[in-house]
Amino acid sequence: MSKNYAAVAHSIVDAIGGVGNVAAVTHCMTRLRFTLVDNNVVDLPRLKAISGVMGRGQQ
């Protein structure tokens, strides 16, 4: 089964408020970590509905 990773990435960025809301991005083997400018603009239901998004944490 093939996955369109570019489409998933675009969906994630859109759900977190767009490129302008991203202050930094880091990654490890299984996770992406976004530092956001404004956490209040995140569309959490939309983010959770994206296939491949297993969870969301906030610090």
Q: What pLDDT, on the 0 to 100 scale, is given for residue 1? A: 44
> Where do we find the tokens 């977190």?
16
Residue 54 in domain? no
Supply the range of the domain harboring residue 28.
5-48
Residue 26 in domain? yes
Number of domains within the chain: 1
> Where do we find the tokens 């994630």?
12
* The one-letter amino acid at 54: M
Give the DSSP H or E segment for 14.
helix 5-15
And the tokens for 35?
A: 């530092």
Rounded to whole angstroms, the Cα distance separating 2 from 32 reads 20
What's the predicted TM-score (pTM) here?
A: 0.84
How do residues 1-40 score in pLDDT, each as one tens digit?
458 889 999 999 999 999 999 999 999 988 899 999 999 9
Residue 25 in domain? yes
**What's the CATH code of the domain at 31?**
3.30.1360.60
Choosing from 1, 6, 28, 29, which is the catalytic residue? 28
Residue 55 in domain? no
28 classed as catalytic: yes
